[in-house]
Amino acid sequence: MYDFHGKTALVTGASRGIGRAIAVALARGGARVALNYAGNQAAAEEALRLVREAGSPEARLFQFDVADADAVTRAVDEVVKSMGGLHILVNNAGVALDQLVMRLKDEDWKRQLDVNLTGAFHLIRAATRPMMKARGGVIVNLTSVVGEMGNAGQAAYSATKAGLIGLTKSVARELASRNVRVNAVAPGYIDTDMTAAVPEGARQKLAEMIPLGRLGSAEDVAAAVAWLCSDQASYVTGEVLRVNGGMHM
């Protein structure tokens, strides 16, 4: 258990899956959690309930599209004003519109870039000012194993996740002198709603590709994010922490 009392955390894409698990993990440490979601109100309300039960009674929902720069700026300003600042930012929101590159539509390529990469840039830019003013903060970007090793049918998704790694390292260098740490977590195949639709035979083949012999859980990823957000990782910045069961080393 890490101590996040007195800190406000904004988690994007927090209505389900990995984002929800991260929000719960931070709440257990006492953080005031702001949960972003795009449109699934029912899932967001359930996530809010779980986060409040986990230890963040002041948790709030913020609905906005991370690809909308103005909406991001307004939301971050509101978090800072209404929740006592912004000390932790977790960029988890993302979309995957898988297709072979020869069949990939322009709009699907652009949407993945806008949400997965440009969205994270919008959040980082908006969060930089309050964090620099406070002379401290933590940013964690959720990239992916495919951002490092690629994957057939995921050219756009892989490109955005690889871009997040470069963004992470560059911003880590820019903000280190202000005591703002910036890291990335690269999950492998995680058992979430996105992978639940994979046929059992395919899931078994995936497990055989992983040295630890299983898909990861959202909680596995959340634990890594919580550590990077904690004071125990105070000398860690510009790193990519792989949570993939050994699939890519």
Which pLDDT value is given to residue 202? Answer: 77
Residue 148 lies in a domain: yes
Evaluate whether 221 touches 187 at the Cβ level (below 8 Å): yes
Residues 6+ apart with CB under 8 A from 230: 2, 3, 4, 29
pLDDT string in tens for the chain (249-residue length): 799 999 999 999 999 999 999 999 999 999 999 999 999 999 999 999 999 999 999 999 999 999 999 999 999 999 999 999 999 999 999 999 999 999 999 999 999 999 999 999 999 999 999 999 999 999 999 999 999 999 999 999 999 999 999 999 999 999 999 999 999 999 999 988 767 767 788 778 888 889 999 999 999 999 999 999 999 999 999 999 999 999 999
Q: Is residue 248 part of a domain?
A: no
DSSP string, 168-221: HHHHHHHHGGGTEEEEEEEE-SB-SHHHHTS-HHHHHHHHHTSTTSS-B-HHHH
In a domain, 28, yes or no: yes
Report the sign of the C-alpha dihedral through residues 11, 38, 125, 71, in that order.
Answer: negative
Q: Is residue 2 part of a domain?
A: no
Residue 189 domain flag: yes
The predicted structure's pLDDT at residue 195: 72
**3-class state of residue 19 by DSSP:** helix
Are 147 and 162 a contacting pair, CB within 8 Å? yes
What pLDDT is recorded for position 198? 72
Does residue 197 belong to any structural domain of this protein? Answer: yes
* Residue 63 buriedness (CB in 10 A; 0-12 / 13-18 / 19+): middle
State which residues form the domain around 150.
Answer: 8-243
**Residue 206, in any domain of the structure:** yes
**241: closest CA among 185, 192, 203?**
185
- Can you read off the two tokens belonging to residue 40? 């699934």
The CATH number of residue 77's host domain is 3.40.50.720
Which residue numbers are catalytic?
Answer: 157
What SS3 state is found at 98? coil
Residue 249 lies in a domain: no
- Number of domains comprising the chain: 1
φ/ψ (deg, to 5) at 94: -165, 160
